[in-house]
Amino acid sequence: MDDAVLVTTIGATPWYENFWVHLAIGAVVAIAFFFFFIVMYIWTERRVIGLFQGRLGPNRVGPLGLIQSVADVIKVMFKEDIVPDKSDKLLFWLAPFMAFVPVMMILAVVPFSENFQIVNLNVGILYVLAVSAISSIGVFMSGYAGNNKYGLIGGMRGLAQFISYEIPLILSLASLVLISNTFSVNGLVQAQTLPNILMMPLAFVVYFVASLAEISRTPFDIVECDSEIVAGFNIEYSSMKFAMLYLVEYGEAVVTSVLVATLFLGGWHGFFIDGPIPLIIKMVLVFLFILWIRATLPRLRVDQSMGFCWKFLLPVALVNLLFTAARMTFFPDLSNWIVIPASFVFTAIVIYLFAGLFKPGRKVAEND
Amino acid sequence: MTKKIYEELQENCECARICGDYAEIVPDSLPDCALFLKDNGYDYLDMITASDHIDEFILTYTFKNLKDKDDVMLRASVSRENPEIPSLSNIWIGADFQERELYDLMGIIFTGHNNLKRIVLWDGFEGHPQRKDYKNVA
Amino acid sequence: MSLRTEEFVVNVGPQHPSTHGVFRMRFTLDGEIVKDVEPIFGYLHRGVEKLMEMRTYKQGIPMTDRLDYVSAINNNWPYVLAVEELAGISVPQRAEFMRVIMSEMQRISSHILAVGSQMNDMGSFYTVFMYMFREREKLTDLMEMVTGQRMMYNYMRFGGVSMDFPAEFVPQLKKFIKVFPKYMAEYEDMLYDNEIFLARTKGVGCFKPEDAINISTSGPVLRSTGVDYDLRRDKPYSVYDKFEFDVPVGKNGDVYDRVWVRMEEMKQSVRIIEQALDMMPGGNRFCSKVPVALHIPEGFTYKEIESPRGMLGCYLESDGSDKPYRCHFRAPAFINLTALKTMLVGQKLADAIIIFGSVDLSMGEVDR
């Protein structure tokens, strides 16, 4: 492995390898990256979904509507901050922070280039999984604290969905760890001579679908479906707290696309140059794919979504883990030319077989 | 030329008279007439309406026979002082909202209806706007 | 220690993104299952029937437009038919065909709105809605060409229609009819092959034909259960006995069947418009001469037509003066609403919104 970035010795180190300087620069870069991409994502989403639907997106504020998000943030800041009388005040104030901050913390272990990441944790994957679970508590807290039935329903649905889909997520990451032999995120990227999506397409499918459900995106957006329970868990919030909860959704989308690009698409490996630019391109491509799914599909009902997780995704993830473990034990040095086509065939077979087991619809009456 | 169904109706229930393409009945015999029509194929209750003729309210009921593509119209007259008529909502659920609306706007009481309260106007409203003596209309 | 559960009451509406109009429902829920539903409406009650008694017959025609504002032309028709029967006014053939063409165009546009907003309720985020509204916009432009209005057309008169077709109308309508089946194929692709759509609509909200007849439902709701009754074919009014068209009848009475019936009815409307354009006599007699101050002899009548929502009827009673003595509208949406309780009890809350959308209400008609 190449040079680790974090140097913890104090004293005879140059200033740019000083721990505190590095931490300060890293924090600034991470926060700037995070907020910049949230704003870009909001703009991209509105314009691209407009393209899908045959209309323009925002096109008044600034050239191509680029400053629309800024205008929205300013509008939201000037709104009156209403706190319902019967709500649980402490939880009401705490919930947006608890939902928002952990999402940002995930960026601490993502390698932006070969030499630069904020913390080179050797259990990076575990850290990511642990921290992302905290934000789901924040979402449920916000639904509960508003003392509103709609919020409660939304919060409970979200929590149930989040907990259920964590398991296939972790299982697919476990199979990644098996072939790369390391838990650290930078190690996973460096072990990808070929992107992991080619080596393990089934793990990619499981991870992608599970993380769509984690970030509550269509078709799993029962948490915030605005045509059924009005606004779900953030129904009682206004002004900055609402803005934070709204940013949570896009922040999670940013972090998910960064993680998918890092873990499966090769991270900072690029065709001609390595570094942050290929990472950003891959990130945006993943996000466009998430948008495409949102523009096309309607949403699943909550029991169908749960059924999909427990009856389809979990068995598929388990099968994937089993076969990966078998392959690493018995054929550790198989050539890539055999592994890649075999993986794709294996993926197709498993998905076809398991899709027969799970039908999301209901049995129709006898006269059909 | 009167339809055969009206003649059968006159034999079996208390029908005042047949006038062309409708029949006038006594209000209290309404459930019997309706059940007779239902047994003879006219099982679709189409419309219930009423109009205010100063001394009396005249209610109009239409029934349909979906298989033979035929219609029947019944009219009943209730007095203004005592505007009561038996309700059909126990036989046809479709009569439920229509009778409530007539109670709301005209003040006709449908006896036997299990939820006779105002439907298009709010609960505290006073008066029955569709009556001819209701003032205060634009 | 046993767990105590209790039912709770959730209020949906009157302001709600997915109730089509101002409508309120009080659900009594046990978890996600609906135990009872109480519809509360009257928010749009304008007293149209009483207002029509204060205006002359001709002034009443624009008031009928405002009943079911989604399919406005169809509302003029039963009123105009009733007056023509009582007054003994005859209608020239050309005017009859013009009435049929405009009504069938309005039927297509009303069904587009019904199916599009049904998909919207399912969460497909306006994509299918926007695609379908492309065609509805063309239809609205065509209607504006004839009547000068985009919504409250005020087109029919006693003895015919208010104005003749302009010269450029018929060629443009023919062009639209030729292109529309291709778009219908596109919509069917988007709907019938969508696994999530099928999962959420098949077997949901089943309704038996005996219940449908007992509750006096009509229109697509009645035909989706298997009862084959359509006023245009079974009791033809105007010139409908000259056309050849099918009446789509469903099998199960679930939400899928209602969507299917509406899509098929759109195709049949296209057939009717084609035949009407071929059969329409030339000339320029579009309205009989009717005295300005129209006095109608005493009497009463009840006329019905088939509107996109069901059987729309007008009971008209006249006392010899120039104002109606009593004018009552048999509103199909009002009576179909009675079926809501039968269809919703026992379903989940998420399904309740979809079932409610499939009944296709228009609050102007319900409240009058």
pLDDT on residue C261: 92
pLDDT of residue A278: 86
Q: In chain C, which residues have their Cβ closer than 8 Å to the Cβ of B69? A: 234-235
Q: Count A/C contacts: CB-CB distance under 8 Å.
A: 97
If we measure between CA atoms, which residue out of B133, A359, B41 comes closest to residue C203?
A359
Going by pLDDT thresholds of 50, 70 and 90, the confidence category of residue A223 is: low
CATH 3.30.460.80 fits B4-82, yes or no: yes
Which domain range does residue C241 map to? 8-367
A54 contacts C134 by C-beta, under 8 angstroms: yes
- In tens, the pLDDT along B40-87 reads 888 888 889 888 888 888 888 988 888 888 888 888 888 888 888 888
C1 in a structural domain: no
Chain A interface test: which of C5, C6, C122, C126 (most A C-beta within 10 Å): C122
Contact A225 C194 (CB under 8 A): no
Between A9 and C93, the more confident residue is: C93
Which residues of A make CB contacts under 8 Å with C? 49, 52-55, 149-150, 153, 218-219, 221-222, 225-228, 230, 294-304, 359-365, 367-368
CATH number where C120 lies: 1.10.645.10
pTM of the predicted protein model: 0.84
Name the pairing type of β-strands B56-65 and B44-53.
Answer: antiparallel
Q: Which of A354-363, C159-168, C221-230, C271-280 has the lowest mean pLDDT?
A: A354-363
For the segment C322-334, the average pLDDT, to the nearest whole number, is: 89
Residue range C128-133: mean pLDDT, rounded: 86
pLDDT band at C262 (very low <50, low <70, confident <90, very high): very high
CA–CA gap between residue A124 and residue A106 (Å, rounded): 9
Measured CA distances, C77 to B37, C83, C313, C326 (Å): 29, 10, 9, 17
* Nearest-CA distance B10 → chain C (Å): 22
pLDDT band at A367 (very low <50, low <70, confident <90, very high): very low
Rounded mean pLDDT, C139-162: 89
Name chain B contacts of C336, Cβ cutoff 8 Å. none
Q: In this predicted structure, what is the pLDDT of residue A76?
A: 84
Mutate to test the interface with A, among C11, C115, C124, C353 (most CBs of A within 10 A): C124
pLDDT, position C106: 92
3-state helix vs strand vs coil in chain B, percent to 5: 25, 35, 45
Mutation for A interface: C5, C19, C125, most A CBs within 10 A: C125
Is A1's pLDDT higher than 70? no
In the complex, which subunits touch C with 3 or more CB pairs below 8 angstroms?
A: A, B
Amino acid at site B95: A
Question: Domain locations in chain A?
Answer: 86-357
Interface of C with A (CB under 8 A): 8, 10, 16-18, 32, 119-127, 130-131, 134, 194-200, 202-204, 206, 251-252, 254, 348-351, 353
Share of chain C above pLDDT 70, in %: 97
Chain B residues with CB inside 8 Å of C54's CB? 137-138
Q: Are strands B22-25 and B70-79 parallel, antiparallel or unpaired?
A: parallel
Instruction: Please answer whether residues B89 and B32 qualify as being in contact, where contact means their C-beta atoms are separated by less than 8 angstroms.
Output: no
- pLDDT recorded at residue A14: 64
Report the pLDDT value the prediction gives residue C105, as an integer from 0 to 100: 92
- The mean pLDDT of chain A is 80
Per mean pLDDT, which of A19-23, A169-173, C339-343 is the most reliable? A169-173
Q: Do A300 and C197 touch (CB under 8 A)?
A: no
**A228/C18 Cβ within 8 A:** yes
Which H or E element spans position A14? Answer: none
> Residue B7: its pLDDT value, please?
76
Q: Which chains touch B (3 or more CB pairs under 8 A)?
A: C
Render pLDDT for C190-234 as a digit per residue (tens, 0 to 9).
888 887 888 888 888 888 888 888 888 888 988 988 888 888 888
What is the number of structural domains in chain C? 1
pLDDT digits (tens, 9 = 90+) for A53-95: 888 888 888 788 788 888 888 888 888 877 777 777 888 888 8
Task: With cut-offs at 50, 70 and 90, classify the pLDDT of residue A267.
Answer: confident
Q: Which residue of B has its CA nearest to C55?
A: B138
pLDDT at A227: 46
Angstrom distance (rounded) from CA C73 to CA C61: 10
**Domain definitions of chain B by residue range:** 4-82
Q: What is the per-residue pLDDT for C140?
A: 92
Handedness of CA C270, C273, C278, C279 (dihedral sign): positive
Chain A residue numbers touching C353 (CB-CB < 8 A): 227-228
What's the pLDDT at A154? 74
Task: Please check the confidence at residue C67 and state whether its pLDDT lies above 80.
Answer: yes
